[in-house]
Chain A
């Protein structure tokens, strides 16, 4: 490109930018911008819902479907891991382009809404499991911490260190209020077990063999009360790492808002 052409392009671009700024004074343009925003929010949020539902179901779904699966070792580790992975990639684009620290809260809120609806329609109405056995966990409080860390520090790196760590570490305490009644010990046929165990025993599923292999593994029962805080610290570390990695992935993906002349 010659210098004259380059100057012409720069001039055209400057005029366009001026026009864009002036359009903010134009009520007609503003009305159309708002309609556009509304459509974009609807489309992005519905696709976010589908994306996080597929992601969460196929990576941490078993722990979220059943109260007896919510153990002290795998559930507090896998759930934040898979959520932060998804959140990180979207957060980068929305923060970098729009400066909106909302993605973590939006994703977990949408997951919460769709999970409650889906559990009722599919597990209760369709397959006849009780809702008290299949209700979803909550992660919204963790997401608010993550988004607040980003809003207050305005730094993706610092928010990954603080917010990512807290998101990973606090799964168990956030959900404890929902889970406590199911951890009450009961004696059944001479064996001591929790209410959640008893419910799982009554509802034999095709995932029961995997439950015995994964959840009922020996150390979980014998390592005493320190399993939960140990898992929390490790989950915090994983949260920081996976969130940072997928923020980086998000930066790469958002660099691809390009056009190609040909693909191959």
Chain B
């Protein structure tokens, strides 16, 4: 039955349909994803060009000219991004969940998935570009600072940017989507806290490295804190279960009316 309907029925996606908007492509995800990739590519090109050229001696004038301003800029941008968006989402929060229609609620889930898509694209970029760039860097240079070029890219932008997207997304979800309002999703919280705690753990890691700055073993126990915090991604499965439970029901409800009319 389901198969024959899928193959033969014409989809009613005209503007008169109540769910027409849900069939549009998510421009937010496309545009923000492309922007994130462009920023990532720019940083990667900068690292390739300036990393070994002017980034091996923290005490040199070139390092202070070409790398430290980038670090300061990253910190300012990320702090501003996180604080402004979080405060804005909280100040403009919904106070009456019952006033949110099912169509609006479903559209907000699509928006949330759009944000997660951007985060996913960024996560893929970190995995392929950032993580092992630090491994390669430390194999051929002796660290004389916490602010190595690869650290300035990874630990002061790439990973915190994931947190900078997750925190506002967490607040937005818990203030805009009825299923999450006035309560806290435990798996979502676990993912946010796990990624957020990478930064404090980075402090511990760098403190430890002051004892053995000349050698680099990537499997060293001092790095295992990052591994443990990475396990917070295990909570993506229960979070996905929450999402598809809620969205599955909403899709069924919001499309049922149009389908009845169409079938009649």
Interfacial residues, chain A to chain B (CB-CB below 8 A): 16, 19-20, 22-33, 36, 39-40, 42-51, 53-55, 57-63, 65, 78, 89-90, 93-94, 97, 114, 117-119, 121-123, 125-127, 129, 205-207, 209-210, 249-250, 253-263
Contact = CB atoms under 8 A, between A and B. Distances in A.
Nearest to B260: A26
A263 B189 contact: yes
A260 B129 CA distance: 37
Interface residues of B, number: 81
A95 B11 CA distance: 33
Contacts of B46: none
B117 A42 contact: yes
Contacts of A255: 238
B2 A24 contact: yes
Contacts of B12: 28
A119 B22 contact: no
B217 A23 contact: no
B124 to A, nearest CB: 4
A155 B218 CA distance: 36
Contact of A23 (B128, B236, B256): B256
A36 B247 contact: yes
Interface string B231-246: 1011111111111100
B133 interface: yes
Nearest to B230: A54
A51 B233 contact: yes
B48 to A, nearest CB: 6
15 contacts: A23-B256, A36-B247, A43-B236, A46-B127, A65-B218, A114-B127, A122-B129, A123-B132, A123-B135, A126-B137, A129-B136, A253-B238, A256-B186, A256-B190, A256-B238
Contacts of A25: 1-2, 5, 259
Contacts of A123: 132, 135-136
Nearest to A31: B11
Interface string B193-233: 00000000000000000000011111100011011001101
Interface centre among A93, A129, A261 (most CB of B within 10 A): A93
A16 B249 contact: yes
B121 A46 contact: yes
B140 A127 contact: yes
A127 B256 contact: no
The 7 A-B pairs of least Cβ separation, nearest first, read A93-B237, A23-B252, A257-B238, A46-B120, A127-B136, A50-B123, A61-B218
A185 to B, nearest CB: 26
A19 B214 contact: no
A250 B129 CA distance: 29
B127 A53 contact: yes
Given A123-B136, A126-B133, A263-B189, 5 more contacts: A43-B113, A61-B219, A62-B217, A129-B139, A254-B238
B119 interface: yes
B246 to A, nearest CB: 11
B45 to A, nearest CB: 11
A15 to B, nearest CB: 10
Given A27-B6, A97-B237, A207-B215, A54 B252 contact: no
Contact of A39 (B48, B113, B242): B113
B59 interface: no
A43 B186 contact: no
Contact of B218 (A36, A40, A57, A254): A57
A44 B219 contact: no
Nearest to A37: B244
B185 A259 contact: yes
